[in-house]
Every structure is written in C-alpha cells, then in structure tokens.
Amino acid sequence: MFSTASNSRIFSRRSIHGRIAHEIGQQILHGDLAPGEVLPSETALGEEFGVSRTVLREAIKVLAAKGMVESRPKVGTRVRERDHWNMLDPDVLSWSLASHEAESYAAGVTEMRHILEPAGAALAAERATAAQIRRIRTAYEAMAAAGADLEQSIPHDLRFHQAILEATGNAFLASMGHMIESALAFSFQISARARDNPAYSLPLHKAVLERIEARDSRGAQAAMLRLLENARGEIERILDGGRHDPATKPPPRRARAGRL
C-alpha cells in the first residue's frame, strides 16, 4: 500500500464532527460498512467515538453531502452505492486512496488523465501566456533539481500538470486539476516508485514543456500521451504484482450491531 501525499484541500478533520465523518468514511471505504448497510445506532456510534448525538448528526450531514450515505425515516442511515459518491470530493479521494483498493483507484485516475490532459496540453500550446509558460518551466526545473528525491519531486510534478491545465484558459479544466490533486499525487507516487526513481520521467516531461513552448499543439498532445502511457505502464505493473500479493487482500469486515 502506498501513502497519499499531504493535501491541504482535505477539510473534514478540522472539527470534531469532521473527524467523525472521516472515521466513518474510512470504514465505508475499507468495507467495514458496505453499500446498502444501515449504520449502527446513535447510541452505539456515540459510545464508539465518545461524542454526542449532535456531533454524530453533523458528521452524517457531511457524509450525505458527499453522496456516501442517505437518511430515511423509519429506515435509518444507509451507505449508498459507490456510483452515488462524489469521487472528486477531496475527502472521498483521500479516503479512497488510503483504502485497500487504492491501486485500482489509481488506474481509474490514469484513465481519466488520458481523456483530460493530452487535450489540455494541446490547448496550453495554443493559449498559454508567457507567464503561464514560465510557471510550467519553473515546475519542471524544480522537478529536475529534486532528482531522485520522491518527496521533493512530487509537489513540483503536481504543479507541472496543474500549471498546464491552468494554461488552457479554460476555468473548468484548471479547476479539475486542483480537485483531483490528491489523486494525481498518488498516481505519481506509484509510477515513480515502480522504478524507485522519479527522475526517470524527466525527459518525457521536458518534451511536453518544449512542445508547449514551441506552440506546437499536436506535438504537445502527443508528448503528453507518451508521458501518460509510460505512467500507465508502471501502474499496471504494480497492479499485476498486487493481484498475486496476499497483502493486498481487503481486511475482514467487523461485526456491527444496531441501527441509526
């Protein structure tokens, strides 16, 4: 299992009810609370977490806003199917990437990036201002300076890709880069650690930068595709190994009693 990079956009643990929402969210992602299952009673949860019913109700509101649970009269609070979750919510992403299915989530993120980033690189080549191109280059040069230091490299790698989406001139694409921040950082960790050296991808990043600087839309798109194909290959290699690793199996579910 890989850890996620720190993410200042994750907000739910700043309050007591946020901490409880985090704990319950983790239980849902780990499979302790399955889709369709009704949460334990307020009394049981209050004893488990040592908090009041008011705090619990606020925590449930947080999870409901993320699409993870729904409350109905005479039924209780039930875990919703994954299709209803807001997967772009910073907390849901963070919890997902800390679960036993983290590598599979990374594969899904990679697929989304194949749809999003090549087109973003093409638009950046057409529309980026001089200042935006400088920011992309600055991020690349910081990656190069970090060398094989993974912890130092990842924030600059993240900034490189975000700066490209910002340079598209499309506010929705720019926002997307920040919304999936933790997922991007996690996928960078997997692909870099597959080779134990994040610097191996520097030439691929440089090619993207140079095509954007040259205002070569098609070249920038092709260079980004090559970069993402390389990352996907590394992630698939990790996944193939994990399928045969007993350590990747989900933990047994805990018995839960009571209804909320």
pLDDT 10s digits, 1-38: 334 444 434 445 568 998 999 999 988 988 889 999 99
Q: What is the pLDDT of residue 96?
A: 77
Q: Distance between CA atoms of 30 and 32, rounded to whole angstroms?
A: 6
The answer to whether residue 54 is domain-embedded is yes
Which residues lie across from 71 on neighbouring strands? 77
Phi then psi for residue 70, to 5 deg, are -140, 145
Is residue 106 in a domain? yes
DSSP codes, 191-252? HHHHHT-GGGGHHHHHHHHHHHHTT-HHHHHHHHHHHHHHHHHHHHHHHHHHTT-GGGSPPP
The per-residue pLDDT for 67 is: 95
- Decide if 259 is inside a domain: no
Q: Which of 24, 41, 23, 42 is nearest to 80 (CA)?
A: 24
Residue spans of the chain under pLDDT 50 = 1-11, 243-260
Q: Number of structural domains, the chain?
A: 2
- Round to whole Å and give the CA distance between 205 and 143: 9
Three-state DSSP class for residue 148: coil
Structure tokens of 8? 């200042």
**155 and 190 belong to one structural domain:** yes
Calculate the alpha carbon distances from 9 to 89, 99, 167, 179 in Å. Answer: 9, 19, 21, 8
**Are residue 125 and residue 221 in the same domain, yes or no?**
yes
Q: Is residue 72 classed as helix, strand or coil in its secondary structure?
A: strand
Q: Report pTM.
A: 0.72
- Our measurement of the distance from residue 118's CA atom to the centroid of its chain's CA atoms, rounded to an integer in Å, reads 19
Find the CATH number of the domain harbouring 28.
Answer: 1.10.10.10
Q: What is the pLDDT of residue 41?
A: 87
Q: Rounded CA gap, 202 and 205, in Å?
A: 5
Looking at the structure, do residues 125 and 27 belong to the same domain, yes or no? no
Q: Determine the pLDDT at residue 196.
A: 60
Q: Does 5 fall in a domain?
A: no
Domain region containing 81: 12-85
Q: Is 76 in a helix, a strand, or coil?
A: strand
> Alpha-carbon distance 129 to 123, whole Å?
12
Residue 174 lies in a domain: yes
Q: What is residue 246's predicted lDDT score, i.e. its pLDDT? A: 40
Final residue belonging to a domain, choices 36, 56, 85? 85
